[in-house]
Structure 1
């Protein structure tokens, strides 16, 4: 009986493979659902199962469950049948060629240009903290940098970039890989205002010198968590009623560049992606935007 084969398999992964109790429990739930499906179709022996039944099971799951959940259950079924074949309980693995549904590609959530503009204008630039916040926001959107890269900048990194605009701002990315990005006029102006009117005041709160560019109110280097809070506060003050994160500004930087006609390879370099394949996801966002514009503007697109 197929129940016996499932029991043997669960004992195997618990005792011989040493899988955690929660993992074994997940396999048990997945296979119980699978066995009930087979029994409803008159299949009682593991050796009677064919690829047709496995494929039908996957199709049934796909109607009611998320792709990630279906994918996990397909793996459970495939591993069970592989065990049954290796133990001589079945002539082969009928699930070997059955693939889980493709994972839905998650597109970056780009902000509109208007939303970004409102967020950039949200900080009070007459206040030392507001000047710091404006410098942070303009840097993130103006360069497409990761929040860790911006929080890791020292004052010397920026003073060099301001003094030598053609050299760009040097960022230290993943794996210690360094890249230079242009420093636009808005970011440069925000940084100069912060360095002159804000940072000296914040730095005076610390007992010892901190070389970090962006400082908190205690004169210490601004953390990524604090930077996240700055962005969320600015988005709320700007009336942007959706989730906004440091990555939102990075995604928007890339999407707006591509919308403006930038070459994909250039955007790859600016973002510090090791492979252009990582950057290509942004082209999907742009195509969606172009499709919307086409549908709204072309007389024969509706």
Structure 2
């Protein structure tokens, strides 16, 4: 069992090119599945069948796991059994008929445009003092909001990924898919100030080519970015307490409300499926209603 899990983790990391976070989550899910199978006296991977999978999900549901958690566990099981069947551990892909609960996808809270402006202006004032951490935080927040990139994509950026002349940044997203994302003049100015006056003060020998670095001089981590975003938003009274992902949602919502089409927003966010981007359509119903009232003769 342990050997199978090690091989599965290697498969996810090398052949599927999944992130370390995804690998750990999937392996943890399958370990939980294996423990449940053992309690059913199915101690070998070859003894797992559809009844074991359904019993496992039912037990999770009984323990109060959310529909989103059940859907992710079912997804992990499908990936595992497809792999196990391919290498001969299972005679068939037993999870092929495993249904997942439908997850109601709700858009998290987002900043209003005025709130986003207040947050960024507050940090800009502090950055004006020349403090290198404030310069970094200003450039980081402007980049997050301007581009809508994921926090994992942000911390992976190198200096050479920024094209200052064209005001675009090259992003390596999920599945190692590369995309080019534009940013505006405020982000351009913040990045220039950070690179000219902030980064040289903070960057140490371990920084390498990293665009954003932490106080210890190395590439900044996702956890540090999350902590900084929460702190900066809490410092502005009218702003909600959001994570970096909340800034991503805010950027997508504001671009869509500004008139961008869904395909453009999909490209901006790096979604592989348009269906993932469609979660944002309901936030623009007010814009649609205004357009209808202006254009339709019987409105």
Give the alignment's Cα RMSD to 1 decimal. 3.8
CA distance in 1 between counterparts of 2:243 and 2:175 reads: 23
Q: Provide closer, same or farther for how the CA distance between residues 23 and 144 of structure 1 changes in structure 2, counting only shifts above 3 A.
A: same
Q: What residue is the counterpart of 1:128 in the other structure? A: 132
CA distance in 1 between counterparts of 2:276 and 2:186 reads: 28
1:14 is aligned to 2:40: yes
Q: What residue is the counterpart of 1:200 in the other structure? A: 200
Q: Mark the structure with the bigger radius of gyration.
A: 1
1:270 is aligned to 2:274: no
CA distance in 2 between counterparts of 1:293 and 1:225 reads: 42
Q: Provide closer, same or farther for how the CA distance between residues 104 and 197 of structure 1 changes in structure 2, counting only shifts above 3 A.
A: same
Note if contact 2:111-2:239 (Cα within 8 Å) is conserved in structure 1.
no
Structure 1 counterpart of 2:249, from 251, 260, 269: 251
Q: Provide closer, same or farther for how the CA distance between residues 24 and 256 of structure 1 changes in structure 2, counting only shifts above 3 A.
A: closer
1:150 is aligned to 2:183: no
CA distance in 2 between counterparts of 1:120 and 1:23 reads: 47
CA distance in 2 between counterparts of 1:11 and 1:143 reads: 45
Q: Provide closer, same or farther for how the CA distance between residues 165 and 276 of structure 1 changes in structure 2, counting only shifts above 3 A.
A: same
Q: What residue is the counterpart of 2:77 in the other structure? A: none
After superposition, give the CA deviation of every residue in 1:105-136 in whole Å (9 maximum; x if it has no partner): 32232211111112212321121110100000
**1:207 Cα deviation after fit:** 4.1
What is the TM-score with the length of structure 1 in the denominator?
0.62
Structure 1: runs of 5 or more not aligned? 1-9, 31-64, 76-98, 296-300
Paired residue total:
221
CA distance in 2 between counterparts of 1:152 and 1:284 reads: 31
What is the TM-score with the length of structure 2 in the denominator?
0.63
Structure 2: runs of 5 or more not aligned? 1-35, 75-98, 294-298
